[in-house]
Amino acid sequence: MAASYDYDDTTGYEDNGGGHRQQQTDLGYDPNFVPDSVKTFVVHMYRHIREKNVYEIHQMYEGSFQNLSERMFKESPWPSVDAVAQYVDNDHVFCLLYREMWFRHLYARLSPTLKQRIDSWDNYCSLFQVVLHGVVNMQLPNQWLWDMVDEFVYQFQSFCQYRAKMKNKTEQEIALLRQHDQAWNLYGVLNFLQALVEKSMIIQILEQEKEGLEQFTATDGYDYNGGSNVLKVLGYFSMVGLLRVHCLLGDYHTGLKCLLPIDISQQGVYTSVIGSHIATIYHYGFANLMLRRYVEAIREFNKILLYIYKNKQYHQKSTQYEQILKKNEQMYALLAISLSLCPQLTLVEETVNSQLREKYGEKMMRMQRYDDEAYSLYDELFSYACPKFITPSAPTYDEPLVNYNQDAYRLQLKLFLYEVKQQQLISGVRTFLKLYSTISLGKLATYMEVDEPTLRSILMTYKHKTHAVDYDGKIISNADVNFYINDDMINVVESKPAKRYGDYFLRQIVKFEGVMNDMDGIKLS
């Protein structure tokens, strides 16, 4: 089953653990009844997994499972694992995989109980222990392996949100939370993801690939020599999972550090699954935005938005289509924020820029004013587009029970708006610097209605806020207008974008081919 990226099921920021999904109902549901079509499904899936037939597994996973879910289990869970085990030789690993899909379907269609959330955690622990310490002799589709990591992080996020809403918890729920205090524990989640990265040796594999000693990306992570792709690909996707967890915690430096082994400037295994591709760039771009690396954020948002624009029609029948569109809209909002804080339109393709102007053109003009209305727009776009931040710590059960599920979000919003307010001074300086190639400090101070010492302080702020530190510790500039001061004269250096002749000629060639095709289609009488 295709997992959603961020599971933004509800409007606004609030997520009640079930979103718009239906509450679970036991009416007419017998967990031990296995319809013939489900028997056929598990028998064939089990056989294909044993035969390492990745193509057939993928067809059943993406097609049959979805179709059966839609037709027979729209409002109820699938049959229990105990009921289907007899049809698959009680195979331990297959039963773990079946339960993984069972819980994912439950989360997607219904609203899980606390007990089911804890059971799902136990199942992931058992499944990852087998992958890490057992002998795994399977090949599974990348889509499924990505969904495992994606769902694992989502269910952790969902549990933290659920646990943080303490006000209406019953005594039984509180007792269960106390009893299972290790379920969805932050360190447990991070340890599993990190263990998958380390045990798979994926970082070394990617390093060796650069030297031409490995074929990991060329084969999309599959092993065509009869081995298994499961550990390696889970380890690879776990780096994206770690980025996402750290973004949810507001630790952007660590998140980006976890993703460093993957070169996102190139095609990779992360681009082989649309959900992985979008989740990677969304969190990568968001982390860079929060670290004031606006140019990097703009560049990557531009690339992925252009990719979605060109390819979304191929995913219309996918269960992920709605999430693709949702993430697409969120990334346009983040791109609008990035360009408002760092006007670098030369980095944005014409198609993306056109869509952006259509969606946010008017708001972006108002955001440049840096008045109360502008701050409310920054607030609105950030709240719409940011990840669902979490507070991973358990509540203090002895104190009066309060909801604290919004605390992490409010903190990140506060930090972001504080940064926006600091940009107000920069906006005024930028406007004047664009008009001059040289101007004296005294003259600019007069125009800005401040004294010279204050102006020097503003100019230093401009330098600080338009520069950031990259992964290698180098200082990089986000400024479209730069300057240096010689004595009391400000010398302005407006960065001229390098002309991209290649893009121009490619566009003209495509147009020319279109004209030639049209002419070929005309029959002369």
Q: Shortest CA distance to 249 belongs to which of 155, 160, 120?
A: 160
Q: Shortest CA distance to 258 belongs to which of 198, 324, 180?
A: 198
3-class secondary-structure state, position 521: coil
pLDDT of residue 498: 52
pLDDT of residue 499: 55
Check residue 112 and give left, alpha or beta (phi > 0: left; psi -120 to 50: alpha). Answer: beta
3-class secondary-structure state, position 168: coil
Q: Shortest CA distance to 193 belongs to which of 155, 233, 234, 159?
A: 234
Cβ atoms 294, 288 nearer than 8 A: yes
Structure tokens at 271: 């681009």
Segment (H or E) for 245:
helix 230-249
Query: What are the DSSP calls for 75-98, one per residue?
Result: SSPPPPHHHHHGGGTT-HHHHHHH
Query: What are the DSSP calls for 475-490, one per residue?
Result: EEE--SEEEEEETTEE
CA angle 291, 392, 290 (to 5 degrees): 10
pLDDT of residue 496: 56
Q: Shortest CA distance to 393 belongs to which of 239, 194, 177?
A: 177
Cβ atoms 146, 273 nearer than 8 A: yes
- Distance CA(77)–CA(173), nearest Å, equals 22
Q: Shortest CA distance to 188 belongs to which of 243, 106, 133, 128?
A: 128
Structure tokens at 389: 């931040």
User: What's the count of helices (H) and strands (E) in the chain, helices before strands?
Assistant: 21, 5
Q: Shortest CA distance to 481 belongs to which of 444, 418, 428?
A: 428
Cβ atoms 368, 340 nearer than 8 A: yes
CB crowding 162-185: b at 16 or more within 10 Å, else e: bbbbbeebeeebeebbeebeebbb
Where do the domains of the chain lie?
Answer: 112-417, 436-493, 496-524
**Helix, strand, coil percentages in the chain from 3-state DSSP, rounded to 5:** 65, 5, 35
- Distance CA(451)–CA(469), nearest Å, equals 31
pLDDT of residue 516: 83
- Distance CA(402)–CA(400), nearest Å, equals 6
Instruction: Name the one residue in this structure whose structure tokens are 């105990």.
Output: 82
3-class secondary-structure state, position 439: strand
Query: What are the DSSP calls for 24-77, one per residue?
Result: P--TT--TT---HHHHHHHHHHHHHHHTT-HHHHHHIIIIIHHHHHHHH-SSSP
Beta-ladder partners of 493: 482
525 residues of the chain, pLDDT tens digit each: 444 334 333 333 334 333 334 445 455 688 999 999 999 999 999 999 999 999 999 999 999 999 999 999 999 999 999 999 999 999 999 999 999 999 999 999 999 999 999 999 999 999 999 999 988 889 999 999 999 999 999 999 999 999 999 988 888 999 999 999 999 999 999 999 999 999 999 999 999 998 888 889 999 999 888 889 999 999 999 999 999 999 999 999 999 999 999 999 889 999 999 999 999 999 999 999 999 999 999 999 999 999 999 888 887 777 788 889 999 999 999 999 999 988 888 889 999 999 999 999 999 999 988 788 889 999 999 999 999 999 999 888 877 788 999 999 999 999 999 989 887 767 777 777 778 888 888 888 888 888 888 888 888 877 777 777 776 677 777 777 778 788 888 888 765 555 556 666 777 787 888 788 878 777 665
Beta-ladder partners of 439: 490
CB crowding 94-125: b at 16 or more within 10 Å, else e: bbbbbbbbbbbbbbbbbbbebebbbbbbebbe
